[in-house]
């Protein structure tokens, strides 16, 4: 063959390879969506405008809901940080994945987690930000860069692959987004990806980014209907230690520092540079001086604390929402939007003053339920509203379903993709919950069942009691009807359903407690 002939063949061969490459990329992109899971910490649905918040606007979370689905009944299996993440990763309840509370040992990564199956299916995987599963080396992620433990709002450390620890300058929510964008830029573009962005926001102590300080200073928020709760009929609620009145601290939580020396001792302030510190301390000093002049006490002081709590919390959430917007913009700008699933959820719900509380843990609605929105172009019709029960337990099977990857047999969750099929197949008619931690905030361990109408809870260890709520008549969960004749009758039926769920999920510890009869 002469030189011209060889060149023609070489060009033809290159063209064939290029076309094949494009076809492969096209096939991959339609068959296997990219996945972005944005997981916040302690973000209440009451603080999200897509859920009709009376408190604030969250335009970017709302955009996901508008272009995809809003889940009105998304719940968690165990309302606390590490256990929720362990459930999301494993698709199994705490008693199966072994991570029951935040105070025990590290998560055992030598178990089935959905990211390993995605890797097997050819995905690139990464987790950036807060993970909070202890110190064991993560498996299933090609890349990770994680906040140690709870992490810090200002100038946080991150621990990356190979245990490399590095401090970054700036505000945590922005840094997590920067690192996420960097990873997306550098990824292998021939493979689909799954990126988990784990935010610290809006965790205690609700420290806003500098431009957001003062965002809500001129706003006064309405009190929730059950802000003043005397906990009559509910022993566990009576003994908790998570009230705005008694537990929330003026200095630690609300940044009312008597002096710069007091401020310097606070973990939230300690790591700030001089400019950050001056901006933050100047902001709170004015509020502190005003408070001193007003000499508040009793109800006035509790309501003042509630307003301060909300202002800091919502200002911290403003940065979270803005950074979610940055990720959506990135996907737009890189032509990734139409082939990328985006899920936003919190690790659990949070009390915004309901029952007089902050924090979570209880099976009561505000902490049991979590906000969740999901965009999946071509599969989820924009503006969908999902009123079926779904759980954080379902994320793993759902994403494996979407990626057409192998689903391990021991998954306890259910893919919720069938909810978006034409036929619409409901997933479950009752929810099972089990909370274990028995320490900070003094919430008694408990398990229970929620149906469309009722919620039956068995508290144990700290408090031994049953509670039953008729959610139709008593949506704020103030009136435990378990001891009433009608309650006894309803509870008898629910106990059968609860026993069936305990068996179905093989929660042997709960079974033993359930079978001990108490009134
Ligand atoms: C910390 C907080 C608690 C919070 C837990 C669990 N105290 O211990 O208020 O309930 O985390 O939160 S703090 O003084 O450290 O802020 S979780 O989101 O990690 O589960
Ligand atoms: Ca949390």
Counted domains in the chain: 3
In the predicted model, what is the mean pLDDT of residues 363-367?
A: 98
Rounded CA-CA distance 408/360 in Å is: 31
pLDDT tens, 167-199?
999 999 999 999 999 999 999 999 999 999 999
Cα(458) to centroid(ligand 1), Å: 24
Query: How many angstroms separate the alpha carbon of residue 204 from the centre of ligand 1?
Result: 7
Domain annotation covers residue 429 = no
Residue 441 C-alpha to ligand 1 middle, in angstroms? Answer: 9
Q: Identify whether the C-beta of residue 154 lies closer than 8 Å to the C-beta of residue 171.
A: yes
Q: Residue 10: inside a domain, yes or no?
A: yes
Pairing of strands 390-391, 74-75: parallel
Cβ neighbours of residue 237 under 8 Å, at least 6 residues apart?
229, 231, 355, 362, 364
| 228 three-state secondary structure | coil
At 107-163, the pLDDT tens digits run 999 999 999 999 999 999 999 999 999 999 999 999 999 999 999 999 999 999 999
Question: To test the ligand 1 pocket, which listed residue (203, 243, 253) has its Cβ within 8 A of the most ligand atoms?
Answer: 203
Residue 163: Cβ within 10 Å count: 8
CA distance 78 to 251: 30
Buried b (16+ CB within 10 A) or exposed e, 194-211: bbbbbbbbbbbbbbbbbe
Smallest-distance ligand from the CA of 392: 2
Token readout for 223 is 């009190």
* Closest ligand by atom to 358 CA: 1
Token pair of 241 as six digits: 């230690």
- Residue 266 inside a domain? The answer is yes
End residue of a domain, out of 305, 322, 353: 305
In a domain, residue 428? The reply is no
User: Do residues 415 and 277 both lie within one domain?
Assistant: no
Residue 467 located in a structural domain: yes
Helix, strand or coil for residue 435? strand
Average pLDDT, whole number, for the chain?
94
pLDDT (tens digit, 9 = 90+) per residue, 316-354? Answer: 999 999 999 999 999 999 999 999 999 999 999 999 999
251 and 202 co-located in one domain: no
Q: What is the pLDDT of residues 231-289, one digit of tens each?
A: 999 999 999 999 999 999 999 999 999 999 999 999 889 999 999 999 999 999 999 99
Report the separation in Å between the CA atom of 81 and the middle of ligand 2, taken as the mean of its atom positions: 4
Task: Say if 25 falls within a structural domain.
Answer: yes
Same domain, 417 and 315: yes
Using DSSP bridges, classify how beta strands 124-130 and 143-147 pair: parallel, antiparallel or unpaired: parallel
Domain boundary residue among 423, 448, 479? 423
Does 219 lie in the same domain as 173? no
80 CA: nearest ligand 1 atom: 20
**Residues 112 and 30 placed together within one structural domain of the fold:** yes
- CA 232 to the chain's CA centroid: 30
Closest CA to 92 of 72, 69, 108: 108
Q: What residue owns the CA closest to ligand 1's atom 8?
A: 440
User: Please, which pLDDT band fits residue 370 given cuts at 50, 70 and 90?
Assistant: very high
The atom number, within ligand 1, closest to the CA of 360 reads 10
Residue 294 pLDDT > 70: yes
**Which pLDDT belongs to residue 392?**
98
CB-based contacts of 308: which residues, under 8 Å, 6+ apart?
Answer: 254, 287
Would you call 6 exposed, middle or buried from its count of C-beta atoms within 10 A (0-12, 13-18, 19+)? exposed
Ligand 2 centroid from CA 13, angstroms: 55
Residues 321, 241: one domain? no
Helix H or strand E segment including 275: helix 274-294
Q: Three-state DSSP class for 444?
A: coil
How much distance in Å is there from the Cα of 446 to the middle of ligand 1?
19
Ligand 2 centroid–CA 416 distance in Å is 23
97 and 24 within one domain: yes
Q: Is pLDDT at 98 greater than 70 in this prediction?
A: yes
Contact 242, 358 (CB under 8 A): yes
Q: Is 216 found in the same domain as 126?
A: no
pLDDT tens digits, one per residue of 453-483: 999 999 999 999 999 999 999 999 999 999 9
pLDDT band, residue 205 (cuts 50/70/90): very high
* Predicted pLDDT of residue 422: 74
Question: What percent of the chain is helix, strand and coil (3-state, nearest 5)?
Answer: 40, 15, 45
Q: Which domain holds residue 228?
A: 211-305
- Residue 192 CA to residue 194 CA, distance in Å, equals 7
Q: pLDDT by residue (tens digit) across 20-37?
A: 544 444 444 456 999 999
Give yes or no: residues 55 and 174 share one domain. yes
Domain CATH code at residue 324: 3.40.720.10
Residue 201 has pLDDT above 80, yes or no: yes
Q: What percent of the chain has pLDDT over 70?
A: 94
For residues 40 and 45, what is the distance between their CA atoms, to the nearest angstrom?
12
The reported pTM is 0.94
Please report whether residue 26 resides in a domain: yes
Q: Please tell me whether residues 32 and 157 are part of one structural domain.
A: yes
Same domain, 377 and 484: no
Ligand nearest to the CA of 102: 1
Nearest CA to ligand 1 atom 20: 81
Q: The domain spanning residue 509 has which CATH number?
A: 3.30.1120.10
Per the DSSP assignment, residues forming a β-bridge with 157 are 167
Q: Which atom of ligand 1 is nearest to the CA of 441?
A: 10
Instruction: Tell me the C-alpha distance between 435 and 364, whole Å.
Output: 12
Question: In the sheet where 372-375 sits, what is the strand order?
Answer: 165-167, 157-160, 143-147, 124-130, 193-198, 34-40, 340-346, 372-375, 69-71, 384-386
Note whether 37 and 144 are same-domain residues.
Answer: yes
Last residue of some domain: 261, 276, 305? 305
Is 375 part of a structural domain of the chain? Answer: yes
Going by alpha carbons, the residue nearest to atom 17 of ligand 1 is 81
């Amino acid at each position: 063959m002469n030189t011209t002939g060889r060149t023609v063949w070489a060009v033809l061969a290159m063209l064939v390879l290029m076309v094949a490459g494009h076809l492969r990329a096209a096939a991959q992109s339609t068959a296997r969506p990219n996945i972005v899971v944005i997981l916040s910490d302690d973000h209440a649905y009451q603080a999200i405008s897509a859920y009709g918040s009376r408190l604030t606007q969250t335009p970017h979370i709302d955009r996901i809901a508008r272009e995809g689905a809003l889940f009105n009944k998304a719940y968690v299996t165990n309302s606390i940080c590490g256990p929720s993440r362990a459930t999301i990763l494993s698709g199994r309840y705490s008693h199966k994945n072994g991570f029951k509370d935040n105070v025990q040992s590290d998560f055992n990564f030598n178990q089935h987690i959905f990211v390993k199956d995605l890797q097997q299916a050819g995905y690139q995987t990464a987790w950036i930000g807060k993970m909070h599963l202890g110190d064991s080396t993560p498996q299933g992620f090609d890349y990770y860069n994680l906040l140690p433990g709870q992490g810090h709002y200002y100038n946080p450390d991150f621990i990356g692959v190979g245990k490399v620890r590095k401090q970054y300058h700036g505000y945590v929510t922005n840094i997590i987004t920067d690192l996420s964008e960097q990873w997306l830029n550098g990824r292998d573009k021939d493979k689909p990806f799954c990126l988990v962005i784990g935010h610290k926001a809006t965790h205690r102590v609700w420290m806003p980014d500098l431009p957001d300080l003062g965002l809500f200073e001129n706003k006064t928020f309405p009190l929730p209907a059950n802000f003043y709760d005397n906990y009559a009929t509910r022993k566990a609620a009576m003994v908790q230690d998570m009230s705005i009145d008694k537990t929330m601290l003026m200095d630690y939580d609300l940044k009312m520092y008597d002096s710069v020396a007091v401020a310097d001792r606070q973990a939230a302030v300690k790591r700030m540079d001089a400019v950050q510190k001056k901006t933050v301390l100047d902001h709170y000093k004015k509020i502190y001086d005003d408070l001193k002049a007003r000499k508040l006490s009793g109800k006035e002081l509790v309501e003042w604390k509630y307003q301060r709590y909300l202002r800091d919390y919502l200002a911290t959430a403003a940065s979270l929402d803005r950074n979610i917007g940055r990720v959506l913009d990135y996907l737009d700008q890189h032509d990734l939007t139409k082939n990328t699933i985006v899920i936003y959820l919190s690790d659990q719900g949070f009390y915004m003053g309901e029952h007089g509380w902050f924090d979570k843990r209880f099976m009561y609605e505000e902490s049991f339920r979590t906000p969740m929105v999901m965009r999946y172009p071509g599969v989820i019709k924009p503006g969908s509203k999902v009123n079926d029960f779904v759980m954080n337990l379902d994320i793993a099977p759902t994403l494996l379903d979407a990626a057409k990857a192998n689903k391990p047999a021991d998954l306890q969750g259910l893919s919720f993709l069938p909810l978006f099929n034409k036929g619409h197949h409901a997933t479950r008619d009752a929810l099972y919950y089990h909370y274990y931690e028995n320490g900070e905030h003094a919430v008694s361990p408990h398990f229970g069942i929620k149906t469309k109408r009722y919620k039956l809870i068995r508290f144990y260890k700290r408090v031994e009691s049953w509670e039953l709520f008729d959610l139709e008549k008593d949506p704020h969960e103030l009136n435990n009807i378990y001891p009433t004749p009608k309650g006894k009758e309803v509870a008898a039926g629910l106990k059968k359903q609860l026993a069936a769920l305990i068996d179905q999920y093989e929660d042997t510890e709960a079974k033993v407690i359930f079978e001990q009869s108490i009134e």
